[in-house]
Amino acid sequence: MGKNNTRPVFLNLFQIRLPIGGVVSILHRITGVFLVLALPVLLYGLQQSLSGPAEYAAVTAKLSSPWARALLLLLLWAFAQHFFSGIRHLLLDLDIGMEKNSARRLAWLTLMASGLVVLLLGLAI
């Protein structure tokens, strides 16, 4: 067999520049995994808060710390990003936004919408 010189010898994944649609698609998958992994912790917190008044006070005290607020904002961003990316994928399945320019606009719109949701609800917390 002859040696194929067109194959890459070293593939550095950090040097690959994905289009914004690819980045949003990967973020959709990452946020989905993050939300699934966070679900048991959130359900445990809900169970603890519904156990009684003392447990409710303990859970709210834990959630009022700056680290917990930052984690809640991260969780909120993950949910918003996953939600808007899901809507984007549904629109693409309906052949809406399939052209190159509109697909880019739609991808940027999902990022801006999730950032706006976090900004607005972050100020409200």
Q: Is the full-model pTM beyond 0.85? A: no
Indicate the fold that domain 40-124 takes in CATH.
3 helical TM bundles of succinate and fumarate reductases (1.20.1300)
The DSSP call for residue 2 is: -
Q: Write down the H helix ranges in 50-99.
A: 53-63, 66-93
Residue-wise pLDDT tens digits, 47-100: 999 999 999 999 999 999 999 999 999 999 999 999 999 999 999 999 998 999
For the chain, the structural domain boundaries read 40-124
pLDDT in tens, 8-49: 667 777 888 889 999 999 999 999 999 999 999 999 999 999
